[in-house]
Chain A
Amino acid sequence: MAVDKKNIRNFCIVAHIDHGKSTLADRLMEKTGQVSERDMEEQLLDSMDLERERGITIKLTPVRMFYKAKDGIEYTFNLIDTPGHVDFTYEVSRSLKACEGAILIVDATQGVQAQTLANAYLAIDNDLEIMPVINKMDLASANPEEAAMELEDILGIDASDAPRISAKTGLNVEDVLEQIVKKIPAPSGDGNAPLKALIFDSYYDNFKGVICFVRIKDGTVKKGTKIKTFMSDRQFDVTEVGVFSPKMTETDSLSAGEVGYIVASIKSIEEVEVGDTITDVNNPAKEPLSGYKKALPMVFSGVFPLDGSKFNDLKDALLKLKLNDASLSIEPDNSTALGFGFRCGFLGLLHMDVIQERIEREFDLDIITTAPSVSYLVHKTDGTVLTVTNPSRLPQTTEIEYMEEPVIKASIFTPPEYVGPIMELCQYKRGVYKDMVYLDKTRVEMKYILPLNEIVYDFFDSLKSRTKGYASFDYELAGYERSSLVKLDMLLNGEVCDALSIIVHKDKAYERGRQIAEKLKDVIPRQMFEIPIQATVGGKIIARETVKAFRKDVLAKCYGGDVTRKKKLLEKQKEGKKKMRSIGTVEIPSEAFISILKTDNNN
């Protein structure tokens, strides 16, 4: 039986990271009896271990709830959780398309932050009704008036009747439920019109195949419906439809206004694109819904198995991860230093981190990752343009006419006292100042154009340390700009280690070369011979360090009882060696490749 769509509310929750999004979602589920308090596991929606540990949401998860409002009517709520990190802005925009309203949470102790703003704008762009909520009222430092004023001043959102809640203690959460009913519009759409279902996410299940998360805009879908998508002509028979409560629960049908899932024996995630529209083969809609633009990877890094023989295992792992993560790009790569592996593209640094950690945890593989790079446009002298995401694939200097690098539009929120340090940092990171707005007495918004390759290189850490964690940051891609870039190579014992090469701005090459050489000197253990470490640009040495040879590694004594002990000791050392990669005659610990990133935290 279809639910009367005027009693449906589809909404998401958006907020700056740590402002309490997942906690409020949990509380809503608890108050609507979706889960009993006793069964409640902290932050239900963040089901990946990684999500729970880091306190972030990576995959979006929809959930259905029933709420009996004060008007006596039982409403169906579909909450679509959204990731909170800037890397996943794209996923946020996907879930917004499936909703009519957005709860905007603001931390009463911190007020509006960079991602509050970014997410609020996204919601406004998608014509969503914004319902502000002021959270963390249980904290002594809560200042709801200030937060409400900021919402009004900065975003033009009337926050006078915003519920002042504590998602943690449950204070005033009922007000949120009531306001959802009153403020968020019921879905429009026609249950009898031809089927239009927006795929806002999908994931791969080993038993059922691809599971499409959908928002039904028009029409009805049920088991047996023959469906197709607009972007491909392939047809599938629906084998199951259902809702999230929050586990997947089969229902008879889904119709206009509802949020749920469709299973249709779809074998590969490539066959259904997120953002595409599903319709009924026998009664097709004429036009698809407006979709989304595809998420483009912005950060690239080499991923290699620590143990070269595990290449196929790594391949399987990456393909499996890609099944549920269309934004991950992978292509085979090989490096003289690291052998066969993959060049992977990520949405951002957090995404990269998350993928790497999942490979190690879920697939029990030890991997080596190289320093992240961005995608450069190389205009060659022969008039062709090449996209280079891997420094070792950069053509010879003589073949390059000029190069372009991606830049971003950065928006930084900070208390005024940190404006100076942030300007210094942005200048150091080759930023171009655009604008600065005093939002109120306590908050300044600074706008800069910054090269993305400076962002992937420790910008977050520097920003945090310079502002004691008070500044927040959001960015969007702003095209390409011409730039003087050079390839910096590192030589170990006279041999180029391609996996350590990076592309840097000409003016920074000397400094970075020196820093990386110093860092490598620290991380490369002493070996049986002296190892010169050199940084070069275009064959010219710009920095040099030396790892001295070690002098003694022998066990002084080895008599009767020491034989077993010595053997064990060597076995342990050998085990440690397995974590190393041989570059020519030099052995390098796997973390060296990524550690070169973390060299100038003091700047």
Chain B
Amino acid sequence: MAGIYVHVPFCKSKCTYCDFASYPREISKVESYFACLYREIEGRGRSLQGKVFDTVYIGGGTPSFVESKFILGVIRQIRKFFTLSENPEITIEINPGTVDEQKIKDYKSVGINRFSIGLQSGYDEQLKKLNRIHTAKDFLLTCNLLKGENISADILIGLHDQTAEQVKKTVDLAIAGGVSHLSVYALTPEVGTPIYTDYLNGELLSEDEVADIYDEVRAYLKEKGFYRYEVSNFAKTGFESKHNLNYWQRGEYIGVGVSASSFIDGRRFTNTFSIDEYNNAIIYNKTPEVASDIIEGEDACFEYVMLGLRTAKGISTKKYRELFGEDFDKKYSDVLNKKGRFLDYDGDNLKIKDEYLYVQNDIIMAFMK
């Protein structure tokens, strides 16, 4: 498994919790940005000849905010310079209110087959507080345009005065829209975002309250046929995001565009977060990377465990042995002993017990040498 991530750093307006590389005021650079992006795709593709990629994920920002010709260009370029497997999963993130029938048609015409919609909340007053550009109704309208498609929606928990009931109603709304996949994220107030101030003032839900809602929503989703396959991700069987699973299985991926991260041949690297810096680098044939780390030895082992234990399925210790040439049981006998009561282990498959998936840091940390 290997994936391609494409970053689109544009959106209509910034949400209060967003700390991603997305610059609504720099939309004028859209033409030059995509010109550079195409060039990076070409360069990366040429250097990765021989690797087969199974998924493409266009994220942002709001990729659906830019004209579809840019997205079509991206896919065309990827198909030209990368080898994709037979039925690649190609996802695009879209926001209600930024797509019309034509855009969807365009996306589908180049093989985009998965649509991840930013819903966040089914309550307009909450959406407004987050500075979202749409209403709950807009979400349904967007879903209407995507009838029969593989749709996912993002939902946030931990908003101001949010109740479990409200989140469940939001889930209902998503299901009504026809989603087969849901990402339920606990809001993380990042330093520098407007919502961080609310957090400092104690206006957001506490971790305990978030955990309570999460538990309730998890049970509710189970009832509705969505099973949890990762900490924050729920899907009907067969509708898991292949692209994301690849991250947690420590598969390879190449990221192109501003702020995109990659993991190729044991090296993790990340592009610059600035559009200008990115464009300049590409134009002058320099690398847009600003960080690069070779991951080897113990770091690699730990990553495998850390990422794999995020998933409900966990990891295979047999595969661990194949990958790293060490006996898992021997190496971690003390951890298996000390943290045993939080784990399910049959001698090969090791996973965190269902009820402890949300408090996994403490467990994972024990595996850090």
Chain A: residues with CB nearer than 8 A to chain B?
527-528, 549-561, 563-564, 566-567, 570-571, 573-574, 577, 585
Contact = CB atoms under 8 A, between A and B. Distances in A.
A527 B260 contact: no
Nearest to B368: A574
B328 interface: no
27 contacts: A549-B359, A551-B210, A551-B212, A552-B208, A552-B210, A552-B211, A552-B359, A553-B362, A554-B310, A555-B361, A556-B185, A557-B188, A558-B307, A560-B5, A560-B255, A560-B263, A561-B260, A563-B263, A563-B307, A567-B299, A567-B302, A567-B303, A567-B306, A570-B365, A571-B368, A574-B368, A585-B338
A45 B100 CA distance: 82
Interface string B161-202: 000000000000000000000000111100000000000000
Interface in B265-315: 268, 270, 291, 293, 299, 302-303, 306-307, 310
Contacts of B261: 560-561, 563-564
A556 B186 contact: yes
B232 interface: yes
Given A560-B261, A574-B365, A553 B247 contact: no
B95 interface: no
Contacts of B357: 554
Nearest to B339: A528
B306 to A, nearest CB: 7
A462 B184 CA distance: 52
A597 B134 CA distance: 57
B358 interface: yes
A565 to B, nearest CB: 10
Contacts of B263: 560, 563
Nearest to B268: A564
A330 to B, nearest CB: 32
Contacts of B342: 528
A567 B303 CA distance: 8
Contact of A570 (B248, B356, B368): B368
Nearest to A548: B208
Contact of B310 (A558, A560, A570): A558
Contact of A553 (B214, B293, B361): B361
A557 B231 CA distance: 8
B358 A552 contact: yes
Contact of B359 (A528, A557, A560): A528
Interface in B346-364: 356-364
Given A557-B185, A558-B307, 15 more contacts: A552-B186, A552-B207, A552-B214, A552-B359, A554-B358, A558-B231, A560-B5, A561-B260, A561-B270, A567-B299, A567-B302, A567-B303, A570-B364, A570-B365, A570-B368
Contacts of A557: 185, 188, 232
Interface string B202-230: 00000110111010000000000000000
A583 B231 CA distance: 30
Contacts of A555: 188, 361
B127 to A, nearest CB: 19
Contacts of A570: 306, 361, 364-365, 368
Nearest to B232: A556
Contact of B207 (A527, A550, A560): A550
A84 B232 CA distance: 62
Contacts of A551: 207-208, 210-212, 358-359
Contacts of A585: 338
Contacts of A554: 231, 310, 357-361
Main secondary structure of the interface of A (DSSP, over half): loop
* Range class of the B interface residue count: 35 or more
Contacts of B260: 560-561
Contacts of A559: 244, 247
Contacts of B247: 558-560, 563
A595 B261 CA distance: 45
Question: A-B pairs with the 10 shortest C-beta distances?
Answer: A551-B211, A561-B261, A560-B261, A553-B361, A552-B211, A556-B186, A556-B185, A552-B207, A552-B358, A551-B208
B259 interface: yes
B262 interface: yes
Nearest to A569: B361
Interface string B302-344: 1100110010000000000000000000000000001000100
Nearest to A553: B361
A553 B359 contact: yes
Given A552-B214, A555-B361, A567-B306, A561 B259 contact: yes
Contacts of A560: 5, 247, 253, 255, 260-263
A361 to B, nearest CB: 29
A555 B231 CA distance: 9
A558 B362 CA distance: 16
A573 B188 CA distance: 17
A566 B293 contact: no
Contacts of B214: 552
A525 to B, nearest CB: 10
Contacts of B307: 558, 563
Contacts of B186: 552, 556
B292 to A, nearest CB: 10
Interface string B243-263: 010011000010100011111
B82 to A, nearest CB: 17
Nearest to A550: B359
A215 to B, nearest CB: 59
Contact of B362 (A528, A563, A564): A528
Nearest to B230: A558
A528 B339 CA distance: 10
A549 B291 CA distance: 37
Given A558-B248, A560-B260, A560-B262, A566 B306 contact: yes
A552 B186 CA distance: 10
A316 B227 CA distance: 58
A563 B267 CA distance: 12
Nearest to B231: A554
Q: Which of A528, A549, A560, A564 has the most CB of B within 10 A?
A: A560
